Amino acid sequence: QELVSPLLNDVHAAEVSNNTGSINELKQDNDQLEPGFQDEENQSGEDSDSVSSEDVAVPAFLTCTKCGMVFMDTSEAWNHETNCNITASQVEEQGTIFEDKLSLLKYIIELNSLQGKMVNEEDMIFFRPDLPAGKRSVSSDETDEDQQLHDRDDEYQQDNEDSDFSGDSEADQSVVEGSHMHNNEEAEEGDDKGYAYWKDDEVETSPEDNEMNQVKHLCSTRTDPITGLPIQKLTVMCSESETLYDFQVDIKQSTIENAGDGAFLTYLGARVLKKSADARSTRLIRGHCIDNDICTHNPLESETLSGKKSTVTLTGDNLHYNDNSIYWSKKRADKFTEFQSNENPSHTKLSHGSCRSTVESFTFDENEVKCKVHEEVKKFRENIPDGNGIGFLGIHQESDYESDDYELFWNHPNAFELGRYGPHRPGDRKTNLHFDFKNFIHNFEPSEWSYEVPEPMLNQSQIIDITDDHTGEVHSLAKSHTPIYVNEIGHNPELQSNVLIRDKDDRSIYYYVCITKECKMKKGDTVELFANYGDHYEQVRERKCYGRVNKSEHLGGDEDDGAKLQRNFHEREEVEKDISSLEVYAMFHLVEFLTENVLKPISESIGCVAHVKLDLRLQRNLIVRRRLHWVGEKLTERVQEFIAHPLVDSSSECICSIRESLRQWRFVSMPSLFNKLNPDLANTLLGELSEELLYQTRSCIPCPLDETVWCNIAIDLTRKTTHSIAQHLFCSSGPIGLRKQYLGNDLLKHAKHAAVALKDGSNAINAINGQDSSNDSNNNPRTKSMDDHINLLSFKARGRKIKIDDLLDGTKEQMVSLYNSHQTIHFGTAAIMADIQAYCDAVDLCNMDQYYLPKTTRIISECDRSVVSQYKPTGKNCSANCSPQFYWMARSVDAFKKGCAHVNEQWYLENQVLAITHILASICVDWTEEPVKNSWYSLELLCKNICLDLINAERALAQGAVKPTWPVPQVKPAYSPALCDVGPAKHSRRKPHKARKMAGVPPSSKLLPGNAAEILN
């Protein structure tokens, strides 16, 4: 009633026959307005007969966007629309439908005059014109048919401009005109997202504005004293209805297995404005516009010498005028615009040089603009403690709201801010180069928590890194914020993302909560928050064993030593590439960063690790310290290139500083420290040193520790051999000759033990040939022993599906020859092909009908475990020109258990024992120096200990270690770690990984000794 009366007064006078009673009744109803507003109609003087513009601007009636039902009360309209179930047939059969607004207005007045009531839901009145989708209300000044409503005198028009929006609190200045409400389905389609009360419909909003708004003073984060984890309270305001939604975010065990902690959002309920407060807000908000085209609103940008940029905003009491609000009444806005154009036309385009003089000369006396609505809003604000007003105008308090336990919540496609992910400290922003080295040194843990942002830094990609430079773990400040606990959906189709990741100012990462309509929440509901990190996070997924290749190719995560080594080898190659392209200036800052932020704190903590129990932090510190040493050696080689370059001043301050710092990087205390470590920490250090040795021999020992290439005997021999080399050369003190003597003895001993285990297994498996395997049982000790031996000699397949076309030759009529393949076949593939071929041979031999055809079989998978069998070529097939595959053939384990195949002991001895021992011993150790001179290790000594003919050994070494390569795995290359789509367009820090061929050592090549300087460390 209070909304419609002034507007209907004009309609009645212009179009309806005299009916004073209805008008008087409507005017009496208007007395129910708040005291602060009803005085406007009783003002003395020239304004006494004017109608307040805030009343004029309010819509004559409101309609449900779903069914078109007419209401006069805002709260009733919203309540109806939330639960609207009116069907089209009900509208046609029971309702009174109006297509013309003027006719409807006349009917409303007559209804009030005759029955003394206002239109409500029971009247079933519907307004169904061709309105734009999403219109929440219909104002009488929106159609051409009601020109009478615009015929007001100048004084009335002047007062109409007084209907001003005097600005809102600082906490709500990010309010968005275009935000959606959960019960406005048509607005969700994006045709007319704004509340129709806005006069200034042409105001543009940026994409970042599509969010609900936090009420800052009602939001808080505290730390649980028991768990030490954050608990976040959130209150967000719908920018369409000013409804408040309360949430709580708790951190607890994630529902995803092995995912650690997760973030859980609980909906605590909604709070809606009371009717009086809603009417007051509706009346005041009409006719206001947004004006932020003031120089002081424009953010400034600063940049440090290190290339870090920051956004600077100006704050101050009424610095931006209009009580620092961007929402101006039209009267005040017009006066201000007029003053701008007359006094300082260029004030909105301030340059850095003219900012001071322009601001000082630009003055505007707001007191000259008399605006009654502005003063009333100001009075409301003054009554709110600490200026913590709520809503568009900042005129509401919590007492103006009442709980609505039945209000459902969903906000898709909009979102509300959960919080900042990073950066939290200046050091959280790094260049791509600095982050890559830190990530490698900290064993790739920082990559799990980093993002790339669009803004460059020093002409490099900028990385947001929330991990501590010393530990590589998430720092304490980031742990006190909930966004870091949000897990990702990965490739799990059962999980749905409800968190969006966006950047602000191209340099900060924020998380936003977006709940879809299908997942709408009722009070008390809890949902775990999930984000989608995108393809750039794939390498981290692979390390954690839930990436694409982990599933499709059965590739292991970092718990699989073989798969981990291949990833780490690639990263070491990338580090060497980065170092090879470094210039002096870039190296100086890199060395300075790593020395101050990583080396010094690590060196201090390393001194306290002696004789302590196993601790993950200490394990990481040992790996970090050794990797700093390795990187330092590579940087030293690059410095030597600088010194040798004629255009580089080797005595410059930068070069001298770099050389001095790199001397500190040498892990000279490792021998004395190693003797103090407990066995677990000692194994950690030896494992890191073993990785360095295997990286050094990666071109000759393909895929080390990979169960698909090496049997368990070879894997165990590799570990023992590398550990012995690392311990005697890097972790022991004493004369080098004596250390090499002990090393030689260890290497020969390890090889001999492996050869004995091989022969025992071969004899045990071959002994079953010709026997009746059906007599064996699980209780037979010999059967258990044979299973143990098979486990030591067998190769594990990845279980890949083999395409039928790969198995057939060019004619597509028969299977390819296993013995003439130009590429080495994977053991599991060869085993299944051999079983198929054996079946085909048996069918041909017995003249039987085939029930199994390779070319028609739909699914063929690699054999799970296989063992290399004996094959003795005869005649011309013994030619050296035959392919390597000609000399061996893998068979399934079942073939050996049935006695159908024999173990190829010679092949195992040459490829799984000899190759491992001699390649590592030859490349990593220099046996030619005095006083050693091959007296403690040589190929002859090795062959003697493992009972292998020297000529056969030389032939096997010339051929190189077997590396199965066919069929080629269909592996999609992974991107650089821990990068996510944040914003419109993002790029990976590094290019996608490219495969690099590892050429074997040619027969005539000599195996070079290792770096003498590194051996003597």
Tens digits of per-residue pLDDT, 574-586? 999 999 999 999 9
The C-alpha atoms of residue 96 and residue 125 are separated, in whole angstroms, by 5
> What pLDDT, in 10s, does the model give residues 760-804?
999 999 887 645 444 444 444 444 578 899 999 999 998 888 877
What is the greatest pairwise CA distance in the chain?
A: 126
User: Is 460:435 a contact under the CB 8 Å cutoff?
Assistant: no
The C-alpha atoms of residue 723 and residue 686 are separated, in whole angstroms, by 6
What residues form DSSP beta bridges with 270?
Answer: 245, 404
Whole-model pTM: value is 0.74
For the chain, the distance separating the N- and C-terminal CA atoms, rounded to the nearest angstrom, is 91
- Give the pLDDT confidence score for residue 385 in this predicted structure: 87
The C-alpha atoms of residue 152 and residue 154 are separated, in whole angstroms, by 7
Block means of pLDDT (10 residues each) for the chain, length 1017 residues? 36 32 33 34 34 39 83 78 80 79 77 68 79 37 36 36 35 32 34 28 33 89 95 93 96 93 97 93 79 78 82 85 79 77 50 40 68 83 88 91 94 93 94 96 95 92 95 96 96 94 92 95 97 91 91 89 95 96 95 96 76 70 96 97 92 94 94 90 95 96 95 98 97 91 96 96 81 46 71 91 77 74 85 84 78 64 90 51 69 89 93 96 88 79 95 92 81 40 35 27 30 26
What is the number of other CB atoms lying within 10 angstroms of the CB of residue 760? 14
The C-alpha atoms of residue 991 and residue 685 are separated, in whole angstroms, by 31
Nearest of 421, 390, 401 to residue 504 by alpha carbon:
421
Going by DSSP bridges, is the β-strand pair 137-138/61-63 parallel, antiparallel, or unpaired?
antiparallel
The C-alpha atoms of residue 1013 and residue 1017 are separated, in whole angstroms, by 7
DSSP letter at 345?
T
User: Is 725:739 a contact under the CB 8 Å cutoff?
Assistant: no
State the DSSP H helix or E strand holding residue 549, giving kind and residue range, or none if neither. Answer: helix 548-552
Whole-number percent of the chain with pLDDT over 90: 44
Q: Which whole-number Å values give the CA distances from 606 to 95, 601, 687, in the listed order?
A: 83, 9, 17
The C-alpha atoms of residue 296 and residue 322 are separated, in whole angstroms, by 12
